[in-house]
Amino acid sequence: MSRLPVIDPDKLSARQRQMYDETIRVRGQVRGPFAIWLNSPDLCDLTLQTQDWFQKKSELPSRLLELAILVMARKASAQFAWAVHEKRGLENGLTRDVVDAIRDRITPNFAQDDERLVYDLACELSETQTLSPKAYERGRAFFGIPVLVELVSLVGFYVMVAMVLNTFEADPPGGNYLLD
């Protein structure tokens, strides 16, 4: 159960209401981390812009973006993020086998080299908060610097998302707890 009360749109400040409306415009609803960030409307604004940028403008293909998010959601056992991004990952081309293996904390048998690389980089970033020279070179050689910067930033952003979701105990959509 969430540590924060359900949002009552009629009790929001003018700035909160502005961000509430903007979040609905961009995302279609206010839930999860955005419901939490609404308590700090300027932060909500910045995170909404950042998340929207990753989803719409990143050079990282959506399939790989969702893979990195799933790795980070699972590492943190962030129920809300997993529930949302499991579906998106499958819709964007990840296989059920890959998603299930990540959920079960098993290294997937990847059919695609780019997925294996994103998985390896996200796992190393999660464990060490950096990339070894070998991992850095693999990422740079495959993606180039701009996309590698985006991937590392995405992983960091979803560490923040997971911390917010877990600290404030955001209930997953439909109350479906999928991770142990």
- Specify the pTM: 0.95
CATH code where residue 99 lies = 1.20.1290.10
**66 and 52 in one domain?**
no
What per-residue confidence (pLDDT) applies to 178?
Answer: 79
Task: Please choose, from the candidates 179, 176, 161, the residue with its C-alpha nearest in 3D space to the C-alpha of residue 32.
Answer: 161
Residue 51 lies in a domain: yes
Q: What's the N-to-C CA distance of the chain in angstroms?
A: 16
pLDDT in tens, 30-71: 999 999 999 999 999 999 999 999 999 999 999 999 999 999
**Overall number of domains in the chain:** 2
What per-residue confidence (pLDDT) applies to 1?
Answer: 61
Tell me how far CA of residue 158 lies from CA of 22, 77, 78, 175, in angstroms. Answer: 21, 12, 10, 21
| CA 121 to mean position of chain CA atoms | 15
- CA contacts within 13 A on the Cβ side of 105: 7
**132 and 118 in one domain?**
yes
Average pLDDT, the chain: 96
- CA contacts within 13 A on the Cβ side of 144: 4
**117 and 33 in one domain?**
no
Residue 2 lies in a domain: no
Q: Which of the residue ranges 6-15, 21-30, 55-64, 169-178 would you say has the lowest mean pLDDT?
A: 169-178
**148 and 75 in one domain?**
yes
**106 and 155 in one domain?**
yes
| CA 115 to mean position of chain CA atoms | 16
Residue 124 · residue 103 · CB < 8 Å? no
pLDDT in tens, 124-136: 999 999 999 999 9
Find the domain containing 50 and state its range.
9-57
